[in-house]
């Protein structure tokens, strides 16, 4: 990295704006409030200056920056406070003013979490997740775990089409987890509403064309590698800033290729080419990504980082860690959490939401001292 870059990182969660005399903002139009922000200037990969600000003081902090950085700061500050409209999908819309749960439907024989257990009856599992409160069903026909064998696109299509059709018969909002244009086309023809691309439309040169022509939302995920190994090349000067910059570049490439910016969702790619320390830094800094102005999807369900912290618990024994990470994402204002365990995550989300709702009235009748 050369030159100077500016980043505004939300720091301090707040129960409600009135609890702090109004000196807090609603993060990305969701149910999380934040008071303190770090305004950081990064030069040659290192933080050159760091100023703390609240909503009442940030204008002065940004005003003291050089013109180019001040303009970027104003843009990020506006994005951090931006209330996202509902995400338009074919035949409907997905609200983004509260966290939505995306349920994972793997139809792969080598999935790290379920080993293809749902391939024979995708409709039954999809129905169970919908009844448990999933807003989206994410169908995947290729394992992207480290060391997984590549899948021929014909096999991937044969796996996902019956699952998509089963979900469509249930009236589900369907996302398709793929990085291949031909698979996207087959899924869209079968009833897919959202494309979820772990390669951020970079694996296949036709992917952006397919998504743009279909006019559907797309999730652009960060992964440092490509081809057979999405996890390769994960070396970062600062993982938080480097992933932020990479997601901005991916978004801009997609827009240049004809994808509407209002249809783009970003995913920092927990576990893809990142160490345990990298993943923890990303979770701690998730709210930073709202500065890009796009909805954020977070997926860490049952991932290796949980096992690494919990005495090497296997994938099917990582429920507690998965829910804890999902709640951290909600508190950071992420609009979508992608999970295997829908019932438990929805229950946790609903309790978290009830506490947020109550916090907005806790101080309604109290005067300041």
Q: Any idea which residues carry the catalytic annotation?
A: 303, 338
Residue 90, class by beta-carbon neighbours within 10 Å (0-12 exposed, 13-18 middle, 19+ buried)? middle
Residue for token pair 């907005």: 360
SS3 per-residue string spanning the chain: CCCEEEEEEECCEECCCHHHCCCCEEHHHCCCEECCEEEEEEECCEEEEEEEECCCCHHHHHHCCCHHHHHHHHHHHHHHCCCCCCEEECCEEECCCCCEEEEEEECCCCCCCCCCCCCCCHHHHHHHHHHHCCCEEEEECCCCCCCCCCCCHHHHHHHHHHHHHHHHHCCCCEEEECCCHHHHHHHHHHCCCEEEECCCCCCCCCHHHHHHHHCCCEEEECCCCECCECCCCCCCCCHHHHHHHHHHHHHHHHHHCCCCHHHEEEECCCCCCCCHHHHHHHHHCHHHHHHHCCCEEECCCCCHHHHHHCCCCCHHHCHHHHHHHHHHHHHCCCCEEEECCHHHHHHHHHHHHHHHHHHCCCCCCCCCC
Looking at the DSSP bridge assignments, the partners of residue 33 are 14, 26
d(CA 9, CA 140): 33
Residue for token pair 């049952």: 302
- Quick one: how far is CA 340 from the chain centroid? 15
| 25-26/4-10 β-pairing | unpaired
Plot region of 257 (φ>0 → left; ψ -120 to 50 → alpha; else → beta): alpha
Radius of gyration of the chain (CA): 20
């Amino acid at each position: 990295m050369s030159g100077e870059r500016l980043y505004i990182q939300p720091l301090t969660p707040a129960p409600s704006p009135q609890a702090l005399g109004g000196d807090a903002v609603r993060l990305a139009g969701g149910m999380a409030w934040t008071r303190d922000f770090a305004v950081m200037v990064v030069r040659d990969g290192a933080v050159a200056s760091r100023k703390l600000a609240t909503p009442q003081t940030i204008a002065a902090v940004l005003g003291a920056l050089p013109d180019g950085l001040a303009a970027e700061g104003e843009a990020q500050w506006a994005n951090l406070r931006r209330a996202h409209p509902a995400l338009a999908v074919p035949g409907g819309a997905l609200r983004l003013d509260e966290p939505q749960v995306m349920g994972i439907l793997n139809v792969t024989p080598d999935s790290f979490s379920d080993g293809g257990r749902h391939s024979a009856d995708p409709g039954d599992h999809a129905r169970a997740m919908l009844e448990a409160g999933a807003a989206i069903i994410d169908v995947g026909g290729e394992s992207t775990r480290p060391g997984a064998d590549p899948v021929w696109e014909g096999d991937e299509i044969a796996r996902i089409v019956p699952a998509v059709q089963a979900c469509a018969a249930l009236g589900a909002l369907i996302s398709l987890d793929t990085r291949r244009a031909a698979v996207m086309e087959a899924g869209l023809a079968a009833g897919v509403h959202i494309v979820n691309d772990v390669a951020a439309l970079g694996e296949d040169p036709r992917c952006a064309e397919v998504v743009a022509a279909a006019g559907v939302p797309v999730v652009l995920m960060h992964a440092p590698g490509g081809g057979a190994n999405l996890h390769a090349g994960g070396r970062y000067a600062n993982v938080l800033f480097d992933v932020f910059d990479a997601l901005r570049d991916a978004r801009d490439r997609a827009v240049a290729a004809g994808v509407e910016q209002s249809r783009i969702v970003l995913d920092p790619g927990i576990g893809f080419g990142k160490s345990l320390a990298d993943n923890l830094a990303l979770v701690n800094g998730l709210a930073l990504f709202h500065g890009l102005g796009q909805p954020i999807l977070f997926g860490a369900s049952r991932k290796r980082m949980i096992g690494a912290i919990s005495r090497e618990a296997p994938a099917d024994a990582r429920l507690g860690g998965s829910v804890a990470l999902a709640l951290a994402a909600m508190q950071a204002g992420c609009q979508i959490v992608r999970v295997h365990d829908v019932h438990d995550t929805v229950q946790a989300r609903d309790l978290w939401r009830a506490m947020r709702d109550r916090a907005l009235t806790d101080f309604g009748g109290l005067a300041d001292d």
